[in-house]
Amino acid sequence: MNWKDIIKDTGIEIIWIDTEYSEEGSYIPKCMLYPNGAIVLNLSLHCDRVEFVALHEIGHLVTGRGP
């Protein structure tokens, strides 16, 4: 199972933010707008970093620890 399958199975939204966003990624906990939570990923991430950052942010959901 890859990170895209995990995202699909959990119903987490992916939000891509432009290069003005200073973080590589962030986790948004469950809320009215994103009932399953959301992961923000920076569009300027190198393709080799996307999987690592996405899995790191999924970890916040799995562990129950906020950003």
Report the chain (67 residues): mean pLDDT per 10 consecutive residues. Answer: 86 88 88 90 92 90 71
What pLDDT score does 42 carry?
A: 94
Secondary structure (3-state) at 32: coil
What pLDDT score does 67 carry?
A: 57
Residue labelled with tokens 């432009």: 18
Residues 6+ apart with CB under 8 A from 10: 36, 37, 58, 61
**Which residue range forms the structural domain that includes residue 29?**
3-63
How many domains does one find in the chain? 1
Q: Rounded to whole angstroms, how far apart are CA atoms 61 and 37?
A: 8
